[in-house]
Amino acid sequence: MSIPSAMANLLDGKKGLIVGVANDQSIAWGCARAFHGFGAKLALTYLNDKAKPHVEPLAREVEAAIFLPLDMNVPGQVEAVFETIAEQWGELDFVIHSIAFAPRDTLAGRVTDAPLDGFLKTMEISCWSFMRMAQLAEPLMTNGGTLFTMTYYGSQMVVENYNIMGVAKAALESAVRYMAAELGPKGIRVHAISPGPLATRAASGIPEFDALLEKARRKAPARELVGIADVGTTTAFLAHDAARLITGQVLYIDGGYHIID
Ligand SMILES: NC(=O)c1ccc[n+]([C@@H]2O[C@H](COP(=O)([O-])OP(=O)(O)OC[C@H]3O[C@@H](n4cnc5c(N)ncnc54)[C@H](O)[C@@H]3O)[C@@H](O)[C@H]2O)c1
């Protein structure tokens, strides 16, 4: 999906951080391309040295002005990213948090059996990391801004094999509402974007993911699977000033899947 030229400068002058690009299938990459296409200036992160060669060419493609490592398990790294943004830009208009993690054995097991360490790690990387980024972004969003995170329908309904990640996404969606209420008076909006299933690397950790894709295609009113460009363009719309009175949403980009019994 290409950006219509009439919309090319929709986000001109806006500056934002996108976390979660692992490769060209990542949802965060769909967002980076769309936001760049609409004229936004980007800061991008990569997980570690192993990931860097995969992300670097992508960062170049969207002319990322800031490109830094960020592993939420490494103390001080998220703070360093926001310090660099403060030094180089002095302000921030949007953050896209598109990361999640659960230890393999915790994800594969029943929620009933989740060990404490697996539960805490899942919550830390998949939920608390967004709260921490909001905390660090707040002082930089002096003209207001928008904070985005990625969630999934498995937060609301029991989706086979989604297990502990459903619990983390439910907490994440609740955090979105509380932070939207707390930050709204400063003109900072907070949203969770809820895409239908997409074949990404994170998704490959979920058993029988192909069956989930097939069900999504069959059941969604649109009879189509969602692409990362769909997620990117819709997210970009919510970052535009025209959407300034929309906040605290869990916005489904799923071809209507979630309305069907
Ligand atoms: N793929 C889907 O079907 C789907 C559907 C709805 C929501 N989501 C959500 O979208 C988000 C992005 O996932 P994706 O599907 O694009 O997969 P992806 O594998 O491309 O992205 C996941 C990202 O999380 C990052 N990450 C993992 N642990 C991290 C850590 N400790 N610190 C920093 N980053 C870390 C990875 O480096 C990677 O960039 C996730 O929150 C996921 O739950 C995915």
Decide if 255 is inside a domain. Answer: no
pLDDT of residue 3: 64
- Identify the residue whose C-alpha is closest to ligand 1 atom 37: 47
Please indicate, yes or no, if residue 240 is contained in any of the structural domains: yes
The catalytic residue among 153, 162, 252, 257 is 162
Whether residue 178 lies in the annotated active site: no
Number of the ligand 1 atom closest to the C-alpha atom of 27: 16
Residue 166 lies in a domain: yes
How high is the pLDDT of residue 4?
64
Residues with Cβ < 8 Å from 1, sequence gap 6 or more?
227, 229, 230, 233
Q: From CA 245, how far away is CA 160, in angstroms rounded? A: 35
203 lines ligand 1 (CB under 6 A): yes
42 strand-pairing partners = 16
Residue 205's pLDDT band, with cuts at 50, 70 and 90, is confident
Average pLDDT over all residues of the chain? 96
Domain membership of residue 252 (yes or no) is no
Mean pLDDT confidence for 221-242: 96
197 with 210: CB under 8 angstroms?
Answer: no
CA-proximal residue: ligand 1, atom 42 (nearest): 100
Instruction: Give domain status of residue 258, yes or no.
Output: no
Residue 129's domain spans which residues? 5-245
> Is residue 236 situated within a structural domain?
yes
Report pLDDT digits (tens) over 191-200: 999 999 999 9
Residue 250 domain-assigned (yes or no) = no
* Pairing assessment for the beta strands 250-253 and 188-195 based on DSSP bridges: parallel
152 lines ligand 1 (CB under 6 A): yes
Whether 145 shows a pLDDT value over 90: the answer reads yes
pLDDT in tens, 87-144: 999 999 999 999 999 999 999 999 999 999 999 999 999 999 999 999 999 999 999 9
pLDDT of residue 144: 97
User: Into how many domains does the chain fold?
Assistant: 1
Q: Please check the confidence at residue 63 and state whether its pLDDT lies above 80.
A: yes
Whether 26 is in the pocket of ligand 1, judged by its Cβ within 6 Å, is: yes
Its pTM stands at 0.97
235 CB near ligand 1 (under 6 Å): no
Going from the Cα of 255 to the center of ligand 1, the distance in angstroms, rounded, reads 21
- What CATH code is carried by the domain that includes residue 131? 3.40.50.720
